[in-house]
Amino acid sequence: MTKKTFLILGALALIAVILAVAATRGQPRVEATDQAGQVLFPRLVNDIDKLKSLVIKHGGETMTIDWDGKTFRMRERGGYLVDPEKVQAVAVRLARLTKLESKTKMPDRYDRLDLGDPSVKGGQATQLTLQDASGKALADLIVGKRKFTLGGREGGTYVRFPGDPQTWLALGELTVGSAAHDWLRGEIADIKDSAIKRVTVTHANGEKIIAVKGASGFTLENMPKGMEMVTPSTAEDYAKLLDTLKLDDVAEGAKVTFPKDRTTTAVFEGVDGFQITLDMFDDNGKYWLRLKTTAAPTNKDGADKAETAKQIAELAARTENWAYQVPQFAIVALTKSMSDITKKPDAKGAPPPAPQGMPQGMGLGGGLPPGFGVRP
């Protein structure tokens, strides 16, 4: 994002503010004060190009997002990339917030609106501060619950200025993410199963599971004799592990230790010759992984498949030296043993079991007890 982008953002926010103010005049109010209808931060639309940092405080934790001249990065996550569109969205929505109705001034009622102290561990209030290069606040607001029953086209948000006992219902939607994944660039990998020809999974105990692409889809190459896959898609699940894989959190790779006795390794071999190695371990319910990418060798004619080569190069640059926390559902296949994904074939030709509770002999084809003939 460039400075020009922020100027455009400011212009768009200004238009949005004008529309928001006009909308407040048509909103029904109950005992609104003489400040109702005012924009919360009237100077923000002009100062937005000065934005250097966003500070988010929630539940006693702090996240700091810094502009480095080219993009936004999260300070507490080793400078990992932040999604600029998420920053833009919050800045625009903050700039267009207008006071709709004054609410309580009583601190003991703040928690009902999630407007308590953001520094309290476990609290639900979120404080958002936009700062310039000198650390001066361009905007500072405690953001609480949303209200969805205004009857207008927009919703409302309960807010409070830090140090001011007065709370407000503001016109406009402002949801400030309180977790790292709400701000970070979420994509880890997006390699479709069509680009994978073989996946070799090695568990910490040495057990291997090998999924290979065949003429009719993926199968288990080393499936035990006399067994079959639990579902037809069992082997394909391994090939899809890198498809739209997204993070929950991230850490510098050197700060996360992958214990050998708890680490599962999956090696993905690409149709075009690339190789991706994924290590994963369970840290008390938090699943961490890291990637190592090897580009495809150059073909004899001196040309790789350009699109795939570019995708693999971008993946390597983005994931090198990082460890990612992911939701369990995203890598559940790696948590399963061979006994979990295979079964003995169902017996063929055996009659189906009688429905539970039906007397013996009353199943299909079993006849009827004496005296239960069909009446004339």
Query: Where are the chain's structural domains?
Result: 3-182, 187-343
pLDDT of residue 297: 80
Position 309 scores a pLDDT of 87
Q: What is the DSSP letter of 217?
A: E
Count CB atoms within 10 A of the CB of residue 192: 12
Interatomic CA distance for residues 274 and 105, integer angstroms? 62
Hey, what are 90's tokens? Answer: 């919050």
The residue type of 375 is R
* Mean pLDDT (the chain, rounded): 86
User: What per-residue confidence (pLDDT) applies to 287?
Assistant: 98
Looking at the chain, the whole-number percentage of residues with pLDDT higher than 70 is 79
In this prediction, residue 374 carries a pLDDT of 44
pTM above 0.85, yes or no: no
For residue 154, what pLDDT is reported?
61
Q: How far apart are CA 202 and CA 208, in angstroms?
A: 5
Q: What is the pLDDT of residues 200-246, one digit of tens each?
A: 999 999 999 999 999 999 999 999 999 999 999 999 999 999 999 99
Q: Which residues of the chain fall short of a pLDDT of 50? A: 1, 3, 7, 14, 17-34, 300-303, 361-368, 372-376
Q: How many Å separate Cα 34 from the centre of its chain?
A: 42
In one-letter notation, the amino acid at residue 45 is V
Which three-class secondary structure state does DSSP give residue 190? coil
pLDDT at residue 151, as a whole number: 56
Residues 6+ apart with CB under 8 A from 209: 200, 201, 203, 220, 222, 238, 338, 341
* Through-space distance between the first and last CA atoms of the chain, rounded to whole angstroms: 86
pLDDT at 74: 98
The Cα–Cα gap between 67 and 45 comes to 18
pLDDT of residue 23: 40
